[in-house]
Structure 1
């Protein structure tokens, strides 16, 4: 989604900030309704209103978590466009949501994008700042 890339260490959640589930990049989304898109070609292996994992053919999974503590919203304000097990293409819209509504509910709308179970040194071309366009590559998993 469009926004600003921020280092994972700045995410206001220790699980993400300390890369406990893997390294990656976070995006501070712009305002208004947004479409969260598939980060890679693959299969939706986990799907919740606030988060999803897409696994590529090589088995590598990428987690996209829409906001921090947004599980507490119990799906309110999130519209799923896919189902678990569906094959998707990079850039395909998966979930519609509104970061402004997340802010208004008292949660951070920052979006961690995590290379699951990857070693920290396994990522290159990692964006750590600046503007990000929808579907832009955030890192390369070596």
Structure 2
């Protein structure tokens, strides 16, 4: 079982409440989201692993078992072309849960007319593989958002 931690502090909200049909419909994968505190902060790695995808507004950490976790900082923030984001790691870096990955300002994202809500998605997972999803409660960066249970096949191969 993998524990996925919140990359930011704020209020956990279900993916269905994310103002983007792709995330709201769990088309990228199941998970949850955090409506962040409106203050400059660093988004933290939600799991131990390797940075396999990195953009100013989003990153994916792949753990040692092949589980990828996507953290997306806001909605439609790709349109900001990196403005207001400062990347602190490089693609290929190994990170531990809680390591700062990107500095950003959710209030500036909101002022630019974008939603600062942060989906945290278990890539290539089934909804049934996730337990303890945080929803409707305050979380601090580093708090548990959900647990990702391995399938029997994954457990046998580990």
Does the pair score TM above 0.5?
yes
Q: Does 1:85 align with 2:92?
A: yes
* Root-mean-square deviation (Å): 0.5
Q: Does 1:101 align with 2:108?
A: yes
Larger Rg: 2
Q: Does 1:128 align with 2:135?
A: yes
Deviation at 1:115, TM superposition (A): 0.3
Partner of 2:152: none
Task: Name the SS of the counterpart of 2:120 in structure 1.
Answer: strand
Gaps of at least 5 residues in structure 2 are: 1-7, 150-158
Aligned structure 1 segments of 4 or more residues deviating by more than 4 angstroms? none
Cα distance in 2 between the residues matched to 1:51 and 1:62: 11
Q: What is the TM-score normalised by the length of structure 1?
A: 0.99
Name the count of aligned residue pairs: 142
Q: What is the TM-score normalised by the length of structure 2?
A: 0.89
Deviation at 1:32, TM superposition (A): 1.2
Deviation at 1:129, TM superposition (A): 1.3
Partner of 2:5: none
Q: Does 1:56 align with 2:63?
A: yes
